[in-house]
Amino acid sequence: MIDSAHITETVRQALAEDLGAGDVSAQLIPADTRMTGRIIAREACVLAGRPWAEATFLQVSPATELHWLADDGEPLAPNQCLAELSGPARALLTAERTALNFLQTLSATATATRAYVDAIRGTRARILDTRKTLPGLRLAQKYAVTCGGGVNHRLGLYDMVLIKENHIMAAGSIRAAVAASRALHPCLPLEVEVETLAELDEALAAGVQRVLLDNFDLATLRQAVKQTAGRATLEASGNVDIHTVRAVAETGVDFISIGALTKHIQAVDLSLRFTPQA
């Protein structure tokens, strides 16, 4: 669940960078002109971003009427209409690009996530996102990941302790870093990143219940699963793409984290066509 106040503020900032002192092009349209419009998917995709798009239109003009024909998380076919809208022409033209930016970007993340989820279907693994999100769109993109069937990892640096290579080096050992975490943040989830099977053993000996296996090859992943024997949840990460993810999932890991879900995306092709309202 994403707080509506957060969506409102994200939209406000997006509109502010686009509008500046005002939409000089929309001012060319008579103030009393009204229009209707349809948002069309030009390619197959998974829809995400309705709350942000709707907030965009309504912030520009509360008089806008928006009727959705598809839900977030729903697959769309090419040329499918996903929404109909009507309202003051100036307001619709002003809101158009910002609303589509949200829909196209978030639907791209949902679509990419669905492809990975489908690729590992039937295995025990689940697809995780990362913190490699577009600045200002962290919660929006993580929402989109869930629309695509993925699972959210930590939201930021505040809601989980993730002990990585440099933390271990600075602390002196995995055991020392784990002990510090438990002393300082006993109520937060804890995960340790390891780069070798020996480090995995050290993390397990410290009682860590979630381990990130960084850049393990398939044979080493299988050995890690065997070695762990259910004592911890295992997450595979690093150099995983849509062509290799199935093989990684079949090693028996619990999660696979994919940075590409939120950073290697190409906006889906949506269009908004207007007609004058009688």
Which residue is catalytic, options 132, 138, 175, 263? 132
Which stretch of DSSP H or E encloses residue 216?
Answer: none
The question of whether 226 is a catalytic residue gets the answer no
The question of whether 263 is a catalytic residue gets the answer no
Which residue is catalytic, options 12, 42, 65, 97? 97
Q: Residue 126: exposed, middle, or buried by beta-carbon count in 10 A (0-12, 13-18, 19+)? A: middle
**Chain position carrying tokens 């990460």:** 237
Which two structure tokens, joined as six digits, stand for 4? 């509506």
The question of whether 164 is a catalytic residue gets the answer yes
Which residue is catalytic, options 74, 84, 214, 269? 214
Give CA 70 to chain center in angstroms: 19
Q: Contact at 8 Å (CB) between 53 and 270?
A: no
Which residue is catalytic, options 164, 175, 182, 263? 164
The question of whether 193 is a catalytic residue gets the answer yes
Q: What is the DSSP letter of 89?
A: H
Residue 53, beta-bridge partner list: none
Which residue is catalytic, options 129, 193, 235, 254? 193
Q: How far apart are the first and last CA of the chain?
A: 39
Q: Rounded to whole angstroms, what are the CA distances from 16 to 63, 229, 240?
A: 20, 53, 37
The Cα 81–Cα 259 span in angstroms is 30
The Cα 238–Cα 258 span in angstroms is 8
Q: 114 φ, ψ to 5°? A: -60, -35
Q: Contact at 8 Å (CB) between 50 and 19?
A: no
Q: Contact at 8 Å (CB) between 81 and 40?
A: yes
Q: Residues 6 or more apart from 48 whose CB is under 8 A from it?
A: 72, 73, 103, 106, 107, 109, 110, 143, 144, 147, 148
The Cα 266–Cα 181 span in angstroms is 38
Query: Looking at the annotation, which residues are catalytic?
Result: 97, 132, 164, 193, 214
